[in-house]
Amino acid sequence: MKLFLDTNVLLDVLAQREPWVQDSATLLALIDSGKIRGFVSAHTITTLHYLLSKHLGRERATAALVELIDLISVATVDAFVIQKGLSLGWHDFEDAVQAVCALEIEADYFVTRNPQDFSALSIPVVIPSDVLQYLKL
C-alpha cells in the first residue's frame, strides 16, 4: 500500500501536536516496518524545515528531517508537476501540487487531517485514523 502524506500529518508527529500525534506516529511506525510505503512531496520537506526550525531550532529540525527522509520517499516536484498543479485551478496551489504528486506516484490513499481541502482528488482522501481502521489497527 502506498500512502501520500500531507504536510500536516508529518508535522503532527515531528512537533508532537496533540491530539493527532498518536495516529500519525502509528502510520510512520508502519512505514518504518515496511508494511506500507509513505511518500511526501519535495516541497513538504522544505516547509517542514521552516516550521520545525521555529519550533525545535535549526539543528533539531535538520536532524528530524534527516531521519524522516530515511523513512519515507520524496516525490519529485518538477516543471511537469508544477504545470499540472497550476492547471487544476485549485484555490490552494500547494495542495494542488501535493495532489499531483500523489497521482504521479499512484498512491492508494492521500492522508491528511483536512480531507475537505482535497475533495476534488480522484484517489481516496482519508485521515490517519481511517487508514489505521482499514488496516485493522
- Structurally, at CATH architecture level, domain 2-134 sits in 3-Layer(aba) Sandwich (3.40)
Is the alpha carbon torsion for 86, 91, 92, 95 positive or negative? Answer: negative
Global confidence as pTM: 0.94
Q: What is the full per-residue pLDDT of the chain (137 aa) written as tens digits?
A: 999 999 999 999 998 999 999 999 999 999 999 989 999 999 999 999 999 999 889 999 999 999 999 999 999 999 999 999 999 999 999 999 999 999 999 999 999 999 999 999 999 999 999 999 998 76
User: Where is 126: in which H helix or E strand?
Assistant: strand 125-126
Domain boundaries in the chain? 2-134
Q: At what angle do helices 42-56 and 58-71 cross, to 10 degrees?
A: 150
